[in-house]
Structure 1
């Protein structure tokens, strides 16, 4: 996805159609001047008896990179998701 419009449309439909519980844990955070990074791991638990949509990753790690604009507003620069097999619900406890 690229741009605010595409991202906004995806999240709007996702929150209306995806049911379940998202377990997550911050693993690292760093802010330095006009750049901030946040690393977290997640595990998606579908409702009992439910099947997650095909495009939903059940476990993963996310790196968010934000930068501060000249006007002082924080803007998302990168949102990188990976799906390593070593992310488990126990890791998030």
Structure 2
């Protein structure tokens, strides 16, 4: 647990992993405001890369397209999400 001190590399990785999970969840439910906050890293949240892969190796744009989340598709494309991985 000593390695998980705030600011350590291990702490950053846990925050990054959680941000990625939250981004995928927000995209699945077309929660565009939540997705924007996660991508921008606002309010103490570690920013998630727009092309961060989940445990099934899907990118947020794939999750968004599968869920027909039109507003999040627009947001991800405006943040330069990669379309060639689809």
Q: TM-score over 0.5 for the alignment?
A: no
Greater share of residues in strand: 1
| Interval of TM-score (by shorter of Structure 1 and Structure 2) | under 0.3
Greater share of residues in helix: 2
TM normalised by structure 2 equals: 0.28
